[in-house]
Amino acid sequence: SAVISQKPSRDICQRGTSLTIQCQVDSQVTMMFWYRQQPGQSLTLIATANQGSEATYESGFVIDKFPISRPNLTFSTLTVSNMSPEDSSIYLCSVDTSNTGELFFGEGSRLTVL
Amino acid sequence: GENVEQHPSTLSVQEGDSAVIKCTYSDSASNYFPWYKQELGKGPQLIIDIRSNVGEKKDQRIAVTLNKTAKHFSLHITETQPEDSAVYFCAAFGNEKLTFGTGTRLTIIP
């Protein structure tokens, strides 16, 4: 397993601004993922962030809107850029400690855009 | 890509009764099927999983079954308790990605 800490846990932002979410893991992991969970919905993969390479984005998500950094094996950030109310969601960081698909999740960052 | 369907979307059962949630997947290459429980305001928590070389797995009151031929898997919770109330997600892992079902809101009625 892994202990995953996300910051901020929640925030209220103004339209047009950007917010960076931090994800810290208590152990070194190769595979890290960012998910979005819109209100009352399931989890949708935004991108895979592996250390030492560019993040890989899923269909419907682009780097200009959701830039990701992965400077080392225990840390990653996701930025939500030029926010609109439609970006109001929970953003979740997850890690695969054994490269087998067994993902552990942080508590999420609940973002409200006004 | 993988498509995971989950039913029912909501489920209410009397405390002590059993609950069953069913999922189907589309990609025969998927080989790992976890179940997550998400309580209000928290991240998803892995509660049980099964790999494609196994047909059934049990952990106390929770069990999961897998039918590879039919591409469906199910979560069974017996002797339900109020603390089982939550949203449950199934998922399928293939091509290095985990795809989630749409979720089931389980309510245990005291």
Bridge partners (DSSP) listed for residue A111: A11, A89
On the question of pLDDT at A100 being above 90, the answer is no
User: Could you read off the pLDDT of A11-47 as tens digits, one per residue?
Assistant: 999 999 999 999 999 999 988 999 999 998 999 999 9
- Mean pLDDT of the region B59-74: 96
- Provide the percentage of residues in chain A whose pLDDT is more than 70: 100
* Interface contact B44-A43, CB threshold 8 A: yes
- Mean pLDDT of the region B62-70: 95
On the question of pLDDT at B89 being above 90, the answer is yes
Q: What is the pLDDT of residue B70?
A: 93
Q: What is the pLDDT of residue B80?
A: 98
User: Could you read off the pLDDT of B37-54 as tens digits, one per residue?
Assistant: 999 999 999 999 999 888
Please give the mean pLDDT across all residues of chain A.
94
Q: What is the pLDDT of residue B94?
A: 86
Rounded to the nearest angstrom, the minimum Cα separation between B46 and chain A is: 7
3-class secondary-structure state, position A5: strand
Any B CB within 8 A of A106 CB:
yes
Residue A101: which of B41, B44, B93 has the nearest Cβ? B93
On the question of pLDDT at B95 being above 90, the answer is no
Any B CB within 8 A of A103 CB:
yes
On the question of pLDDT at B105 being above 90, the answer is yes
pLDDT band at B1 (very low <50, low <70, confident <90, very high): confident
Please give the mean pLDDT across all residues of chain B.
95
- Mean pLDDT of the region B102-110: 97
Rounded to the nearest angstrom, the minimum Cα separation between A14 and chain B is: 22
Whether residue A85 contacts residue A15, with contact meaning beta carbons closer than 8 Å, is answered with yes
Q: Please name the residue of chain A whose CA is at the shortest distance from the CA of residue B34.
A: A102
Q: What is the pLDDT of residue A101?
A: 84
DSSP character string of A55-100 = -EEPTT--TTTS-EEEEETTEEEEEE-S--GGG-EEEEEEEESSSS
Report the amino acid identity of residue B15: E
How many A/B residue pairs have CB atoms within 8 Å? 47
Residue A88 burial (C-beta neighbours within 10 Å; 0-12, 13-18, 19+) = middle
Measure Cα distances from A3 to A39, A53, A93, B40 in Å. Answer: 25, 23, 11, 19
A108 contact residues in B (CB cutoff 8 A): 42-43
DSSP character string of chain B = ---EEEE-SEEEEETTS-EEEEEEE--TT--EEEEEEE-TTS--EEEEEEETT-SEEEETTEEEEEETTTTEEEEEE-S--GGG-EEEEEEEEETTEEEE---EEEEEE-
Q: What is the pLDDT of residue A98?
A: 83
Q: What is the pLDDT of residue A50?
A: 84
